[in-house]
Amino acid sequence: MSFKTSDFRVLTTGLQYPEGPVYQQDGSVLVVEIQGKRLTRVLPDGIKETVANLGGGPNGAAIGPDGAVYVCNDGGLDFVQVGPVSVPTFQPADYVSGSIQRVIGSSFSTLYNQCNGLSLRSPDDVVFDATGNFWFTDWGKTRPTDRDMTGVYYAAADGSKITFPIPGRSAPNGIALSPDDTRLYVAETYARWILYWELSAPGVIKPNPKTLDGSYLLTAEIPRQGTLDSMAVDEEGNVYAATMLPDGPRPDVPGGITVVSPTGKILDFIELLVEGQPEPLPSNICFGGKDRKTAFITLAGTGRLVACEMEIPGKPLHFNR
């Protein structure tokens, strides 16, 4: 599929490092704003409404079985401005911990901020399975001379149980389930690869006997040696991964969306040059519209939410009704 700059519709601008798009049946799109520290609704006419001021750094979102919005809050990031692009950097001075927040209306509560005494560092992206439980990545915090080792968690939506089935990861970011919920995909930012784990039951890893960590490699052939952010899956099982520039925040060169088949073949790279302005730091993608063929993409560095039409519908999300 070949995209031109005219194929993208800019839905709104002026967002403060948007992430975690969630399409709503009324045609609006929920996004989190990491730098803005809030959950925002973007109406079909582009008007922005603040849903909740969450503090920290809201980094990913999904609708749970109770209709609430579940937010990965990374606890905050420092940002620098490079030309027109806002760039996240290090753990801020006022950082305390990361958390999972549950948002109902404009009210919110902290569902989890630790697992068996281990503090959540920087929860990043979240996906629900058919049981109403959810997987989430913890990207970890970066400091000038070191960064955290973290992993992937599995938790109950009612706050009753959280487990840590995939430890020992470096910068796990995007997370998604295959259409039948039997594969758990994870994109690791700096390793520039997408891995997956087979699931024998909800929340249960069936390890690959040929690897030490039980994972399978979907692909490490990311176009332009890009680094990876969050992702979505279509109904045929193809993975759409937000792909950032490998060599830093160059505002003159666009990142894109890497499309990968379930067998690991690179199907497409959707370059994000929108209205003549490149986006070097795309952060996430979701599907919506009446036929789920509209892709909504958060252009985090330049603060835009855009839409374009795809050939294959997105996977129906379990509780996004």
Q: Evaluate whether residue 252 is within a structural domain.
A: no
| pLDDT tens digits, one per residue of 230-272 | 999 999 999 999 999 865 556 678 999 999 999 999 999 999 9
10 Å CB burial of residue 153 (0-12, 13-18, 19+) is buried
The dihedral built from the CA positions of residue 295, 300, 302 and 305, taken in this order, carries a sign that is positive
- Domain-located, residue 52: yes
The answer to whether residue 274 is domain-embedded is no
pLDDT at 20: 98
Range of the domain at 126: 19-236
Q: How confident is the model at residue 229 (pLDDT cuts 50, 70, 90)?
A: very high
Cα distances from 317 to residues 24, 88, 129, 196, 278, in angstroms, run: 11, 29, 9, 19, 30
Average pLDDT score over residue span 164-172:
98
The total of structural domains in the chain comes to 1
The per-residue pLDDT for 252 is: 77
Quick check: is 261 in a domain? no
pLDDT given at position 131: 98
Whether residue 205 is contained in a domain is answered as yes
Return the pLDDT at 126: 98
Task: State the DSSP code for 68.
Answer: P
Q: How confident is the model over 107-157, as pLDDT tens digits?
A: 999 999 999 999 999 999 999 999 999 999 999 999 999 999 999 999 999
pLDDT band at 168 (very low <50, low <70, confident <90, very high): very high
Indicate which CATH number applies to the domain containing 192. 2.120.10.30
Q: What per-residue confidence (pLDDT) applies to 28?
A: 98
Q: What is the pTM of this model?
A: 0.97
What CA–CA distance (Å, rounded) separates 23 from 37? 20
| Structural domain contains residue 288 | no
Query: What pLDDT sits at residue 153?
Result: 99
Q: Residue 1: pLDDT above 60?
A: no
pLDDT, one tens digit per residue, over 69-91 is 999 999 999 999 999 999 999 99
